[in-house]
Amino acid sequence: MTSLEVIDFRANDLVGLIPSNLQNLCSLKVLNFDDNNIDLSIGEFMDRLPWCSWSTLQKLSMQNTTMTGNLPLEVGALGNLTLLSLGNNRLDGVLVKEHFSGLLNLEYLDLWDNSLKMDIEQNWVPPFRLKHINLESCTVGPRFPEWLRWQTRIDYLLLGNTSLDDVIPDWFWVTFSQASALDASENMLHGSLPSNLQHMATISIGLESNNLTGLVPRLFPINITSLDLSSNSFSGSLPAELKAPQIFMLSLGDNKITGTIPSSMCQLTSLARLDLSRNRLTGDVVQCWKESNHSSSVSRANSAHQFGSRMYSIDLNNNGLSGEFPKFLLSASRLMFLDLSYNRFFGTLPKWLPEKMPELEILSVRSNMFSGCIPKNHTCLEKLYYLDMAQNNISGNIPWSLSNLKAMRVIYKNVTDYVYEDSMLVITKGQTRDYTFEAFSLVVNLDLSCNSLTGHIPEEISLLIGLTSLDLSSNQLTSNIPNKIGDLKQLQSLDLSNNKFSGEIPLGLSALTYLSYLNLSYNILSGPIPSGPQLQTLDNQIDIYIGNPGLCGHPLSNNCSTSTNGEQSVHHEDEDHIVYLYLGMSIGFGVGLWTVFCTMLLRRTWAIAYFQIIDKLYDEVYVRVAITWAGLMKKAHNDAT
């Protein structure tokens, strides 16, 4: 055992203290306890590490072990250490140059996701030349650390969320020109970027969520595969020539970029994820499809028709883009995420979506100018679990075949390994919410609100038992709310407001145990409001039912029993009046008849006069009827001839 050189206990679910009988392991070179639950401070661990191994130990890795405490200065005495990996623990305290002054051979430093703060002089020159630095979620700033300029062998530099509040120094782009990955995202970096980055060999640059300004670099690193400059303040137009043949992910969302999307975008045939959302782009989407038909270059035409063929995520929301549904998507057979919301697209929704984009899982065309009916074959998109067509000019009926959306018919869906977006805005429960991808993947949504849909809700919609949010508000839907809507047991949000629904509220709504938002306002609903423990917990209960004067019961002031008794009382009063009316008429008729009869018995002359008047009246009526009848017959005869 004394000659043991490697101890590797990673991912073994170890719980508790590291054994104290390590003192004789004087030949130890590698010690790895990653992904265990070690109840120990870093100081106690150093005490248990054999002194005789300090000169031999080369790799010390204890990531994700719940280790606590301040990093002791003794770490700096591990002179042969090439790898120090203590990320994702509970370490705290301040790091000074003495922690690293003796680490002459250090190449790999990983301290990410700890509460460590670096306090190192700007003029310090480290004794090592690192290849990999990961200080994410530690405190490195606010100044950009000058000691990094000596790390010319860097391959991976990860400084995300490190409280940097500075301009990126000029030496950064030279010192790290050969690095594979550079990440300084989620800081407060400001200033602009160089216009030409073509000299760099970097394949991944992440500078999202900073305060960077100016133009997007005119030339990207030639071998770049991932470029994320989203959530900054870049302005101006996109570069006219986008030369990055291997780029896989391009994210420029949430900036102030103006102008049109250049046709050179179509040359980026390796793109799998494109995010240009929340900018000020205008015009048609990528003109290359139109230009390729007139292009004399065969390669340019081929590129245009290959563009989109590898894409799985496209986000163009919140711009001023216009035109019909983008034709380049005819090649997007792998596409799973498509967000065209909040633009000015118009025309009908294409019928080719299920055929050309069979993998589609998320589709949002909210707040555009699309018109026409919902294509029935859209219901053949078997993997679609998020459909948002709200705020358009869509008309016609809701197709019963929506029940064919298989991904909405299961409660627990298989979520893809791809992360489409870090987060996404979702309109649900009467609010706009920013869902992280992990939370968003649990949403099953159907939103057809604010259109011109007519007819009734098809009964088959109750088969979409995976729905968590259903919004059909602000249409012209009629008839009753389907009784089987209570079968949608996963519903958390239901909005049917501002329609023309009539009849009673289905009792099944009271059985929706996950329901936290309900809006049935401004319809023609009547009858009692269903009672149930879940309905009683909803906020703003009166607002749920407002605009339906025929409804009664809690929480409305219109009590159902009082209303019924009042109606019955009025009905009985009407019946009494009718009885009294007929009774009075009968008595009056009887009294009058007997008065005339008795008078004629007592006075013979009156009786004779009475019957003479009756005979004369009869003769006059008979003559008038006979003359009128003869005239009508003569006219009919003349018309016939």
pLDDT band at 572 (very low <50, low <70, confident <90, very high): very low
Amino acid at residue number 67 = M
User: For residues 365 and 392, is the Cβ–Cβ distance under 8 A?
Assistant: yes
Q: Give 580's contacts (C-beta < 8 A, 6+ positions apart).
A: none
So what's the pLDDT on residue 194?
97
Domains of the chain: residue spans and CATH? 1-191 (3.80.10.10)
Closest of 213, 158, 214 to residue 188, by C-alpha: 213
Q: Which residue would you say has higher pLDDT here, 591 or 219?
A: 219
User: For residues 529 and 556, is the Cβ–Cβ distance under 8 A?
Assistant: yes
Most confident of the following: 220-224, 283-287, 601-605: 220-224
pLDDT band at 114 (very low <50, low <70, confident <90, very high): very high
Residues 595, 596, 598, 603, CA torsion sign: positive
Closest of 229, 224, 291, 285 to residue 257, by C-alpha: 229
- pLDDT, one tens digit per residue, over 455-511 is 999 999 999 999 999 999 999 999 999 999 999 999 999 999 999 999 999 999 998
Closest of 148, 141, 59 to residue 106, by C-alpha: 59
So what's the pLDDT on residue 589?
46
Supply the mean pLDDT for the chain. 86
- pLDDT, one tens digit per residue, over 321-375 is 999 999 999 999 999 999 999 999 999 999 999 999 999 999 999 999 999 999 9
Closest of 284, 273, 276, 329 to residue 305, by C-alpha: 329
Name the H helices within 313-363. Answer: 353-356
And the tokens for 414?
């298989």
Q: How far apart are the C-alpha atoms of 345 and 318, rounded to whole Å?
A: 12
- pLDDT, one tens digit per residue, over 602-634 is 455 555 555 566 555 555 655 565 566 666 565
User: For residues 52 and 76, is the Cβ–Cβ distance under 8 A?
Assistant: no
What pTM value is reported for the model? Answer: 0.83
pLDDT band at 75 (very low <50, low <70, confident <90, very high): very high
- Residue keyed to tokens 């949002």: 364
The length of the chain is 641
- pLDDT, one tens digit per residue, over 162-186 is 999 999 999 999 999 999 999 999 9
Task: Count CB atoms within 10 A of the CB of residue 548.
Answer: 22
Q: How far apart are the C-alpha atoms of 423 and 209, rounded to whole Å?
A: 13
So what's the pLDDT on residue 576?
45
And the tokens for 135?
């200080």
Closest of 442, 438, 526 to residue 481, by C-alpha: 526
Q: How far apart are the C-alpha atoms of 250 and 70, rounded to whole Å?
A: 40
Residue 333 Cα distances to 328, 352, 358, 359, 438, angstroms: 11, 11, 7, 7, 24
Residue 419 predicted with pLDDT over 90 = no
The DSSP output letter for 192 is -
And the tokens for 361?
């899982």
